[in-house]
Structure 1
Amino acid sequence: MKHPLFRRALFAAPAAAAVLFASACGGTTIDDAQDSETTGPTGTADPNAEIPEGLNIDFLPKQLNNPYSDIVNAGGAVAVEELAGNFTERGGTEPTADSQVEYINAASQAGSDVIVIAANDPDAVCPALNEARDNGSAIVGYDSNANCTDIFVNQSSDELIGTALVEMISEQIGGEGTFAVLSATPNATNQNAWIAAMEEVMAENEEYADLEMVDVVYGNDDDLDSFQKMQGLMQSYPDLDGVVSPTTVGVAAAARYVSDSEYKGEVAVTGLGTPNQMSQYIHDGTVEEFALWNPSDLGYLAGYAGAALKAGQITGAEGETFQAGELGEYTVGADGEIVLGEPTRFNADNVDDFDF
Structure 2
Amino acid sequence: MTLSVRSRPSALAMVSALVLSLAACGGTTKESVRTQAPAPAASGAASASANPDAPIKEGLKLAFLPKQINNPYETIVDEAGIEAAKEFKAEAKEVGPSDASASSQVSYINTLAQQGQDAILIAANDPNAVCGPLRQARSKGIKVVAYDSDTSKDCRDIFINQASSEDVGRSQVRLLSELIGGEGEIAILSATANATNQNTWIEFMQDELKKPEHAKMKLVKIAYGDDDDQKSFQQTQGLLQAYPNLKGIISPTTVGVSAAARYISGSKYKGKVTLTGLGTPNQMRKFVKDGTVSKFALWNPKDLGYLASYAAAALVSGQISGGEGEKFTAGKLGERTIGAGGEIILGPPFTFDKSNIDEYDF
Same fold (TM over 0.5): yes
Mapped partners of 2:332, 2:67: distance in 1:
26
CA deviation map 1:271-311 (0-9, x unaligned): 00000010100000000000000011000000001111111
Cα RMSD over matched residues?
1.9
Mapped partners of 1:46, 1:131: distance in 2:
25
* Residue 269 of structure 1, aligned match among 268, 271, 275: 275
CA deviation map 1:320-354 (0-9, x unaligned): 11100001111101100000001110000001110
**Tell me, what secondary structure is at the counterpart of 2:160?**
strand
Q: 2:52 matched to which residue of 1?
A: 47
Q: 2:314 matched to which residue of 1?
A: 308
Q: 1:30 matched to which residue of 2?
A: none
Residue segments in structure 1 that go unaligned for 5+ positions in a row? 5-16, 21-33
Report if the CA contact (8 A) 1:40-1:314 is conserved. no
Q: 1:328 matched to which residue of 2?
A: 334
Mapped partners of 1:70, 1:18: distance in 2:
16
Equivalent residue letter for 1:334: A
Identity %: 54
**Tell me, what secondary structure is at the counterpart of 1:241?**
strand
Equivalent residue letter for 1:202: L
* Residue 178 of structure 1, aligned match among 161, 181, 185: 185
Q: CA deviation at 1:99?
A: 2.1
Mapped partners of 2:301, 2:27: distance in 1:
19
Equivalent residue letter for 2:187: A
Matched, 1:123 2:128: yes
Q: CA deviation at 1:18?
A: 4.8
Report if the CA contact (8 A) 1:39-1:45 is conserved. no
Equivalent residue letter for 1:221: D
Mapped partners of 2:204, 2:111: distance in 1:
35
Mapped partners of 1:39, 1:67: distance in 2:
34
CA deviation map 1:72-116 (0-9, x unaligned): 001101211111111021101011232211100111111111000
Q: 2:17 matched to which residue of 1?
A: none
Q: Which moved more, 1:233-242 or 1:97-106?
A: 97-106
Mapped partners of 2:250, 2:297: distance in 1:
11
Matched, 1:109 2:111: no
Q: CA deviation at 1:40?
A: 7.3
Mapped partners of 1:100, 1:351: distance in 2:
34
Higher relative contact order at CA 8 Å, sep ≥6: structure 1 or structure 2? 2
CA deviation map 1:254-280 (0-9, x unaligned): 011110111000000000000001010
Q: 1:2 matched to which residue of 2?
A: 4
CA deviation map 1:34-78 (0-9, x unaligned): 9xxx99758621111111101110000000111101100011012
- Poorly superposed stretches of 4+, deviation over 4 Å: 38-43
Q: CA deviation at 1:190?
A: 0.2
Q: 1:13 matched to which residue of 2?
A: none
**TM-score if structure 2 supplies the norm length?**
0.87
Q: How many residues align?
A: 328
Mapped partners of 1:18, 1:81: distance in 2:
18
Equivalent residue letter for 2:309: G
Aligned counterparts, 1:200-349, within 5 A: 200-203=207-210, 205-349=211-355
Mapped partners of 1:214, 1:149: distance in 2:
35
Q: 2:22 matched to which residue of 1?
A: none
